[in-house]
Structure 1
């Protein structure tokens, strides 16, 4: 059953949590996604079978949490994730970050390393506001964004365009991953589809080379798209989580 916590900034974060044994697993969703997605629910089912503690939640402005999506930015969503993990979990956790959730999980590894036992990312998109959105804008789009404070980007989902704000871009620059050293002193597994039209596989390779970890592997799945939600992909996510858990105490 969905419950709520209130953060120190007054945001109300919706979450679902199950109890279990050993090191827990936390799912961090993507940009404009929510905790009812296929991967989040599949992992929750896996956690029930494995009797593992599991947490999924909605960032502010996403799903059932309070706030407006358009008013949010990476710092806000990282704060929401940190608050959820600090309040709702015990001990170090294995973080599973999908797309933007991969970026958030890397920020948490910097911010609260004592709470991170391991990491699994799925099409991780660190710095996507800069290297994806801003880099992809032409002069007219950049001028519109700076003048109006926002720009509407069509997506494959006709009724759900992305509204990109100047604050999102500016705040993203305060949270860049590739501009400084990235120590990840725990098991890390990166998953990436070769047919991902939103996150290029080059980003995964860049992260592989940039991160400093004693136990880091990248798995490329030929033909997998950004959703990474086919039965085979979901089974691979579960297997990678199990592998990371097997390499950490508990």
Structure 2
């Protein structure tokens, strides 16, 4: 089996068991640091940024672990049946089962929200694993994802979600669009940071495009006031949009990761 061929782990039990596709490239030496990549909504672990990070980490002897959430990419499950709770459970399982040594959590958009949730879960439930997290690097962070979604929805979409249970959201990245379900929105209320006074206890470095229409720059900036501990720093890209996958954007991403790796 090659490093690029996915391995499957099972997360959950009974009728909630999900087959999660993962790729875990080990660090060049035992105990060397690695990255855990958390994908954006409706993305997958073969995206431009993921492949670029795979090459970048390999050239430096770093570990690199990535996976598809349930309902995404090569993993099992239906997107419309998934929730933030499911994706958090999967993120925690991948981190604890497949990563070793110090880790940087790197998340894009929805993945940035999950990186924060993962750290918070580890700090409470698995403090020995939390100590392995050096810091977070977040691209276009859609923190408090479901609240951000809800605030952006038109009134008729909200009404359809509440009365019919779901609404198909148009997407510039998917011609079919994707469903937003009432269950997904309600589950998200259990995974909010605003008002929670959460202190990550390590650096949280943000990369945010000023031209982002999916995650407005004001939303990213607000994370500095939401997280306790004065750990957040934002690098703003004046002409950057949501994906931030251009070579110059990737160079900025690598530089932020290097800043966190200094703490090894």
TM-score when normalising by structure 1? 0.94
**In 2, distance between residues paired with 1:55 and 1:17?**
4
1:95 aligns with 2:105: yes
1:3 aligns with 2:7: yes
After TM superposition, the runs of 4+ consecutive aligned structure 1 residues lying more than 6 A away are none
Mapping 1:217-232, distance limit 5 Å: 217-232=233-248
Over the aligned positions, Cα root-mean-square deviation in angstroms equals: 1.4
| Structure 1 residue 158: Cα displacement | 5.7
Number of corresponding residues: 247
- CA contact 1:186–1:214 (8 Å) conserved in 2: no
**Stretch moving more, 73-82 or 207-216:** 207-216
- CA contact 1:188–1:213 (8 Å) conserved in 2: no
Equivalent of 2:226 in 210, 220, 224: 210
Equivalent of 1:129 in 125, 146, 157: 146
- CA contact 2:170–2:178 (8 Å) conserved in 1: yes
1:184 aligns with 2:188: no
* 1:7-40 deviations in Å (ceiling 9; x for gaps): 1332111011111141211100111111010111
- CA contact 2:193–2:227 (8 Å) conserved in 1: no
* 1:165-186 deviations in Å (ceiling 9; x for gaps): 0011001111111131121111
Q: Secondary structure at the match of 1:199?
A: coil
| Structure 1 residue 143: Cα displacement | 2.0
**Stretch moving more, 3-12 or 117-126:** 3-12
Alignment-derived partner of residue 24 in structure 1: 34
Mapping 1:123-202, distance limit 5 Å: 123-131=140-148, 133-157=149-173, 159-202=175-218
TM-score when normalising by structure 2? 0.89
**In 2, distance between residues paired with 1:100 and 1:158?**
16
**In 2, distance between residues paired with 1:109 and 1:16?**
21
Alignment-derived partner of residue 259 in structure 2: 243
Q: Secondary structure at the match of 1:48?
A: helix
Q: Secondary structure at the match of 1:4?
A: strand
Which consecutive residues of structure 2, in runs of 5 or more, have no partner in the other structure?
A: 124-129
**In 2, distance between residues paired with 1:188 and 1:71?**
31
- CA contact 1:185–1:214 (8 Å) conserved in 2: no
